[in-house]
A and B are shown apart, each in its own frame.
Chain A
């Protein structure tokens, strides 16, 4: 149980285009989903927290208009990187937590490369 998937697993896009990443909880209802980015050899940095049906809460320094997060259902959250630039290239990881649970379960990550 507690499986989280991400799609795509990797994506290459051109500078200036937008990319959408999906995060799905496959066998449980995720009331809260988290989006992280991770640079090589570094830890995970929380970007935003989203609760189903509510607007996402962004961490300080994360641009809301650049990283659009939607959590429209209890099993799906999406992160859209708008007008991507090479510095947005990173490993993006989502996690999901069920109602009343301490634990969050991570997706396998999405490697974004912006050329």
Chain B
């Protein structure tokens, strides 16, 4: 059983479209991170959210942590081919605990 679920699992969209990726759990997390991974490379940290209800923006990416700290979303505005990759959410249930990864969302942005 996955502690963290992500949806959708796969997403293929046209350049310029908007999209949202969801990360859900029945457990409370002290923090959640979002990573982007390209084939053959390690994940790259995009953001860490630690406060319930927190919203963080990184250029065209908007991250939100649910009020109850059980879920998070990643919204991309005007997607570009360079956004293509595997998006992973990861969380730790207590501070400085091990980090558990969700199954990932594979995004493909078509020019």
Contact of A104 among B88, B99, B104 (CB under 8 A): B99
A60 to B98, CA, bound (A): 13
B88 touches A108 (CB 8 A): no
- Residues of chain B within 8 A (CB-CB) of A67 are none
Which of B39-47, B53-61, B66-74 participates in binding chain A?
Answer: B39-47
Do residues B99 and A109 form an inter-chain contact, with CB atoms below 8 A?
no
Number of interface residues of B (CB under 8 A): 23
B101 near A43: Cβ-Cβ < 8 Å: yes
Residues 60 to 111 of chain B near chain A (Cβ within 8 Å): 88, 92, 95-96, 98-104, 106
**Smallest CB separation, A26 vs chain B (Å):** 14
Q: Label chain A's interface by main secondary structure.
A: strand
Per a CB cutoff under 8 Å, which of B33, B45, B88, B101 touches A46? B101
A15-39 residues with Cβ-Cβ distance < 8 A to B are 32, 34, 36
Asked if residues B40 and A42 are in contact (CB atoms below 8 Å), the reply is: no
Give me the interface of B with A, judged by CB distance under 8 Å.
Answer: 31, 33, 35, 40-45, 48, 50, 88, 92, 95-96, 98-104, 106
Chain A contacts to B: CB under 8 angstroms = 4, 6, 32, 34, 36, 41-46, 49, 91, 93, 95, 97, 100, 102-109, 111
